[in-house]
Amino acid sequence: MKILVLRGGALGDLVLTLPVLGEIRKSYPDAEILLLGRFPQARLAVPQYVDRVERIDAPDLLPLFEDGPLPEIVRNRLGRFDFAISYVPDSDAIISRNLTAAGVKRIIACSSKMRSGSHAVFQLAEVLGSLGLSLDDPVPRLFAGPKPPSCSKLGFHVGSGSPGKNWPIEYWTDLTQRLKGLFSDFLLIGGEADGEAIREFRARSGIGSLKTLLSASLADLCQALNGCTVFLGHDSGVSHLAAAIGTPTVVLFGPSDSSVWAPLGEHVRVVRSPDGLMKSIRVETAEETCWCAAKNHLGMSPPGRSREEARRR
């Protein structure tokens, strides 16, 4: 059997789709699964979830998304699949018609737009019902190699895909100063869009042990997150990646709906703004949550609490 999956979107979108891919992989262990996705994040699915990945935006695949005759080379390339699952918006059913024209026997079109009231993983998994399957494990999981020896490192990402999702930089500098008694090393993670926030943090922080990982490859980012004792971030793809790797993760949520978008897992802690504004998340709350996230690893308790009190939380 040959299975085709189409999944666009950013890093977090791909991570949230991993449980669906895992269920398909488990249910069709001998199938050849091809994922058409955006690079580099699509590569995360190989080989744990799919056999191969290709660029969904490759020039030779453009006719798949256009209303018109499908070139023979595209028909030959896609027609060998027994069924296709598509998370690409297709209001005019152009993609479905083209896949049918190519010879794909069955097309399951899924909405990539999430609604309130249900976590994104479960909404993405609704496709499984069409295959007679159900989702056994909703937690995205990625193996990034053996965990390194015990350390006390905080990894943190001061950016996200939207300025409205970002905690004020002065809060970040205050928090990291407070956490110097818990963590001996600090790793600041960022991409090209985070340049201004990173420069401001560096200017304010005064942390001598601060290291930075800027615009890193996905492989290097996974390795770095795997080596952190705790990761702290906003509603972003990096936070989803850290949680999927299994690193104890604290996520600060403001305007976005954490009941839909928060990373899943027992090792994940979510701090929600009381009014949807990031500035309303208190530094003290984030500090205590980081202590609680690290306590099992480091055997330490939050400030103002005994170790036994922290263990009972």
- 97-130: per-residue pLDDT in tens? 999 999 999 999 998 889 999 999 999 999 999 9
Q: What is the distance between the alpha carbons of residues 76 and 241, in angstroms, rounded to a whole number?
A: 35
Contact 112, 8 (CB under 8 A): yes
pLDDT band at 312 (very low <50, low <70, confident <90, very high): very low
> What pLDDT, on the 0 to 100 scale, is given for residue 175?
97
Whether residue 181 is predicted with pLDDT greater than 50 in this model: the reply is: yes
> What pLDDT, on the 0 to 100 scale, is given for residue 193?
85
Q: What digits encode the pLDDT tens for the residues 67-92? A: 999 999 999 999 999 999 999 999 89
Whether residue 15 is predicted with pLDDT greater than 60 in this model: the reply is: yes
> What pLDDT, on the 0 to 100 scale, is given for residue 303?
52
> What pLDDT, on the 0 to 100 scale, is given for residue 313?
34
> What average pLDDT does the chain have?
93
> What pLDDT, on the 0 to 100 scale, is given for residue 192?
84
Q: What is the distance between the alpha carbons of residues 194 and 190, in angstroms, rounded to a whole number?
A: 6
Q: With pLDDT > 90 as the criterion, what percentage of the chain qualifies?
A: 84
Whether residue 295 is predicted with pLDDT greater than 90 in this model: the reply is: no
**End-to-end Cα spacing for the chain:** 48
154 three-state secondary structure = strand
pLDDT band at 296 (very low <50, low <70, confident <90, very high): low
CATH top class, domain 153-311: alpha beta
Structure tokens at 173: 């500098």
- In the chain, the amino acid numbered 194 is D
Whether residue 300 is predicted with pLDDT greater than 80 in this model: the reply is: no
Whether residue 228 is predicted with pLDDT greater than 70 in this model: the reply is: yes
Q: What is the distance between the alpha carbons of residues 80 and 25, in angstroms, rounded to a whole number?
A: 18
Outline where 130-227 has alpha helix (H): 169-178, 195-205, 218-226
Question: What would the mean pLDDT of 241-257 be, rounded to a whole number?
Answer: 98
Q: With pLDDT > 70 as the criterion, what percentage of the chain qualifies?
A: 94
Whether residue 298 is predicted with pLDDT greater than 70 in this model: the reply is: no
Could you say which of 3.40.50.2000, 3.40.50.970, 3.30.2230.10, 1.10.3470.10 is the CATH number of the domain covering 2-131? Answer: 3.40.50.2000
Q: For the chain, which residues make up each domain, given as ranges?
A: 2-131, 153-311
Whether residue 307 is predicted with pLDDT greater than 70 in this model: the reply is: no
